[in-house]
Each structure stands twice: as C-alpha cells, then as structure tokens.
A = this chain, B = another copy of it.
Amino acid sequence: MKTIRFIAAAALLVLGVTAQAQTDPLPSWNDGAAKKAIVAFVNATTTPTSPTFVPPAERIATFDQDGTLWVEHPMYSQVMYILESVPALVKAKPELAKVAPYSTVLEILKGDRAAIAKLTLPDLEKLAMATLTGMSVDTFSAEAQRWLAAAKDPRWKKPYTELTYLPMQEVLKYLRANGYKTFIVTGGGQDFVRTYSERVYGIPPEQVVGSAVGTTYGYDKAGKPFLTKEPKLLVNDNNGGKPEAIHLMIGRRPHIAFGNSPGDQQMLEYTKAGDGARLSLLVLHDDAKREYAYGPAQKLPDTKVGAFPQALYDKAKKDGWIVISMKDDWKRVFAFE
C-alpha cells in the first residue's frame, strides 16, 4: 500500500498537479491585493484542513468574456462579426442594400467604423437575428470560424483570439490546476464563443454559457437530421439573466466569479451570497497605454462599450469584491508583448 501511494504521489508531482505549490502560479500579476485575494481564496477552498474547504466536485468558477478575458474595445468582436456578415447577406438579398439598418452598416464598413455607435440597440438586435440565425448550427459554426481565422483587431493587427489577457489565462489555469471547473458566462452568443473557447481558453463548449437563440430539429432532403438557429432569444445572458443561465446550464452557484461591467453585477452578487469562501472580482480598464482606459468609474473616460460606472465600483468596495486594476495589478497584459 505504501508503495502504491508513493508511486501515485510521485507521478502526480511529475505530472505537475502540485507544481503550483512550488512556483508562482500567477507570474503576470504584480504582488498586490488582487493577486493575494485570489491565492488566499484558492488556499482557503482547496486545503483539506481549511474550515472553508470546498469538495472538488463543487469547485465552479465563472468568467465573463468581453472585457474580462479579452479585449472588448473599440467594439465587441461578435458585433464586428455581425457587421462584417452584412455584405454576404446583402449579396444574397440585394433588396436589403437600401434598407436600414443594413444600408447603415454598408456605409460603416466602407469607411468610418466609429459610426457603429450610431446603431441603436434594436438595430443591433435586428442585425444579430439576420446574421446569426436562419441557418444550420453547423453552417453558422463554419462561418464564424472562417471569420475568426481572417479578421484582425484594428489596433494590434492580430486575430481577436490572440487578444486574451495573459493574467486571466493564468487564473484559468491556476484554478483548473486546483480542481476548479472553469466556465465562461458571457452576454455574447453561446454558439459563437463555443467555436474557439477550447482552443483559446482550454474551456470546452459544454462549459460555455452565453446568450442563445432556440433551435429547431428537422431533416434535409436526404432525411439527415439537422438543427436550425431560430430568430428567437431563448437565453439572455446579461444582468439577472446571468445567475438564471448559471442555474439552467450549471446548476450550482459559483465559488469565484469574474466580470467587468454592470451586466456581471448579478452574477457577482449571486456568487458572493453563497456560504463559505466566495470571491467576486471586477476588471477595471485603467491602462490607456497597454490596453484602454474607460470607466466612468474613478474619473476614467466614459464609454458605450463595457462601461464600469462609479456605482458599481462603490458597490464592489462596500461588498468586499475585488477590483482588479489593469494598470497596477497586471505585470503583463498580453502573451505577445
């Protein structure tokens, strides 16, 4: 029995399962309050003798995506996908070229990208339904992957999927190495994020919770079954919809959750309201040099994309959530730096 235990323990060491005990698991983080809180949380929930020990099966960690795991400025990647899908849509249905909001999008794509801000929320919803539904789930997935392979962010001239934050990638790996199951809980489209989540974050499709339309099961002419994406929102994964979707898709309350804007507030509240050790964190974009600076919290410039209002900042401070300062807490922002 001793021999068995020795061999197993040796292998676990060799395989790196306990390697984080020896080396810094978060090398891209400065030694500040945020890093300390994350490490303290992991120790408190995974040390068997800890009064707030959490059994491995219950270790659930949830992450917002846009602005939390990757860059969301100047515009959410999926909105760029929607806009850049409009020309193909217009090619198939030429009568749309003269109809708003399609005509507006064609103008935007010709030149002034900042004009995106002119699109209203109902415009965007209409465009989303037109470009994200009405095809089979396999067709959508192939189109999204094709776009992601070719599209480039305007500032770094890199694929969007390379613009993930290295410190957050380290947190994902650190939590997983400590038995946590990591989930993305995004207001973005579930089917869209699932096309790259495994490759980009090591998070499999079944651990991506997002906004989702319904699908309908049917058969093609040869009798082969397929699912069609319907223009009907089934899950709106924002605000109160985040804890609702977490209950629907995961069925357990997270022990740790990360966000960056009011759409994440309820997820962070819900996480923090559980018993034992719970940690809620918000990423504050206060680094104009290495990424972007926007609030309007802490007198940072206001924005229409992923705003972080002062009220959210004050609530975080009052309720013991951690605000991660990109400028002060992150030694490096991107892996390619």
Contacting pair A251 B217 (CB below 8 A): no
A234 and B236 alpha carbons, distance in the complex (Å): 12
The smallest beta-carbon distance between A193 and chain B, in angstroms, is: 10
A175-194 contacts to B, CB under 8 A, are 181, 190-191, 194
Contacting pair B270 A243 (CB below 8 A): no
Contacting pair B217 A244 (CB below 8 A): yes
A142 and B190 alpha carbons, distance in the complex (Å): 31
**One of A207-215, A288-296, A328-336 at the interface:** A207-215
The smallest beta-carbon distance between A12 and chain B, in angstroms, is: 7
Contact A216 to B240, CB < 8 A, known contacts A137-B247, A206-B252, A225-B270: yes
Contacting pair B227 A244 (CB below 8 A): yes
The smallest beta-carbon distance between A5 and chain B, in angstroms, is: 9
Is there a chain B Cβ closer than 8 Å to A117's Cβ? no
A15 and B8 alpha carbons, distance in the complex (Å): 7
Q: Which residues of chain B have C-beta atoms less than 8 A from A235's C-beta?
A: 248
Q: Which residues of chain B have C-beta atoms less than 8 A from A7's C-beta?
A: 7, 10-11, 14
Chain A interface main SS type: helix
Residue of B nearest to A202 (CB): B57
Is there a chain B Cβ closer than 8 Å to A250's Cβ? yes
The smallest beta-carbon distance between A50 and chain B, in angstroms, is: 22
Q: Which residues of chain B have C-beta atoms less than 8 A from A266's C-beta?
A: 217, 225
Contact A243 to B217, CB < 8 A, known contacts A204-B57, A251-B208, A252-B206: yes
Within 8 Å by CB of A194, from B191, B207, B234, B251, lies B251
Within 8 Å by CB of A225, from B207, B208, B227, B273, lies B273
Residue of B nearest to A250 (CB): B206
Q: Which residues of chain B have C-beta atoms less than 8 A from A191's C-beta?
A: 251
Is there a chain B Cβ closer than 8 Å to A79's Cβ? no
Contacting pair A227 B206 (CB below 8 A): no
Q: Which residues of chain B have C-beta atoms less than 8 A from A224's C-beta?
A: 273
Contacting pair B225 A244 (CB below 8 A): no
Is there a chain B Cβ closer than 8 Å to A269's Cβ? yes
Q: Which residues of chain B have C-beta atoms less than 8 A from A198's C-beta?
A: 57
Contact A269 to B225, CB < 8 A, known contacts A181-B206, A204-B57, A251-B191: yes
Q: Please encode chain A, from 99 to 113, with 1 for each CB lying within 8 Å of some chain B CB and 0 for all others.
A: 000000000000000
Residue of B nearest to A181 (CB): B206
Contacting pair B212 A270 (CB below 8 A): no
A206 and B181 alpha carbons, distance in the complex (Å): 10
* A-B CB contact pairs (8 Å), 10 listed: A4-B14, A57-B204, A190-B251, A205-B250, A206-B206, A215-B244, A215-B248, A217-B243, A227-B244, A234-B234
Return the 5 tightest CB-CB contacts between A and B, nearest first. Answer: A11-B11, A205-B251, A217-B240, A206-B250, A194-B251
